[in-house]
Chains A and B, each alone.
Chain A
Amino acid sequence: MMSISPKALALGAVVTLMASAAAAHGYRSGVLSIQHPWSRETAVGQAVGGGFLTIANSGTRDDRLLSGTSPVAAEVQLHTMTMDGGVMRMRQVTDGIAVPAKGSVELKSGGYHLMFMGLRRQLRQGERIPVTLRFQRAGNVTVQFAVQPVGSTGPMEGGHASH
């Protein structure tokens, strides 16, 4: 990891785009860094899409992802998914997702994720969609989710699928 500039941050802090190379995209807001936010392309008329990202907290106090908003969706929800004896169970998380101090949380395929509910339009491969994440301590952080091929299971920076 690169060194952290000790930037004093107010609520709703300034977000720094960390990526210099096209190889990756990430954001930093105070002690939080957000890596590789991505989503899957959707079909015409598809009302829902998922969102994935990694949130790292270099600070000494726990933070919490509470909710999100996006112009492309009526609502952004937090969900969790588990496999239970071969049965997939998805549940809305209403009390937020912990981002532990000196730690990180992955919203990834097979676990926590964002759900874009009531999509206002189709998500197309290659585009980026703005999503504002609301944290208990860090406040609002706006990041761009890369829309990847529907078959993606993880972040694929550079915009090409593994086929």
Chain B
Amino acid sequence: MQATDPEPFEPAETADNGSPRWILWLVVLLVLGVLAAATLTRGGTGAGEPASGYTNAFGGPFSLTAPDGSTVTEKTLAGKPYAIFFGFTRCPDVCPTSLARMARLRKQLGPDGMKFSIVFVSVDPGHDKPADLGNYVALFGTPIIGLTGTDAQLEQIKKGYGVYSAKVPQPGGDYTIDHTAAIYLMTAKGAFAGTIDTQESDATALEKLKRLIG
């Protein structure tokens, strides 16, 4: 046995394995960068700026399946701004938290809340069938478009949105999925308008949504 120092009560924060602080700052810098790019593009004079080229290329065409079996493409969503993000129903935390948050923010917008669509794309077609996804998004008490597709279809939309996801084998033979957790805001014409990060406040996110639908 080692000599035991009289140790003060150790707060749980140091006991859990949260990300080091520099990762947080990296995320903050990344988000600021994306926001700066989006702001430049919105305020910019348009043609000839590299930033607008990037914006136009973001997102792009995709084709996925809705819970009722129908096909949803970028054209189906056009005409209304949308918030789109990626996850899977076995995701313990980030996905239900983000879905519940979008439902809550929509409610806070009052009647304007229905001026944008909420789109959740499952990147786990192995576990999430379209009908399962429909049952899952129905838990959140507001219309949410739950989409998934074949591996090839998902690769296309992930590439378009710069989303990273990867299957990671687990000890028991099953797998889990690492995935980008950001929420992407898209205009009614399908152009990139910014992101909502898991770390930022509801107040900031609400302002972004107001700008998106305004």
A interface with B by C-beta (< 8 Å): 40-50, 54, 60, 75, 77, 79-92, 94, 98, 100, 102-106, 108-113, 115, 117, 149-153, 163
Contacts and interface: CB of A to CB of B under 8 A. Distances in A.
Interface residues of B, number: 51
B85 to A, nearest CB: 11
Given A45-B135, A75-B172, A87-B181, A81 B93 contact: yes
Contacts, number: 135
B104 A85 contact: no
Interface stretch (B15-23, B49-57, B58-66, B114-122): B15-23
A24 to B, nearest CB: 17
Interface of B: 4, 7, 9-10, 12, 15-19, 23, 26-27, 30, 87, 89-94, 96-97, 99-101, 103-104, 107, 127, 132, 135-136, 138-140, 164, 168, 170-172, 174, 176-182, 197-198
A40 B96 contact: yes
Given A46-B132, A48-B89, A110-B93, A87 B178 contact: yes
A153 to B, nearest CB: 6
Contacts of A98: 15
A102 B9 contact: yes
Nearest to B4: A60
Contact of A45 (B17, B94, B132): B132
Contact of A103 (B10, B17, B177): B10
B92 A113 contact: yes
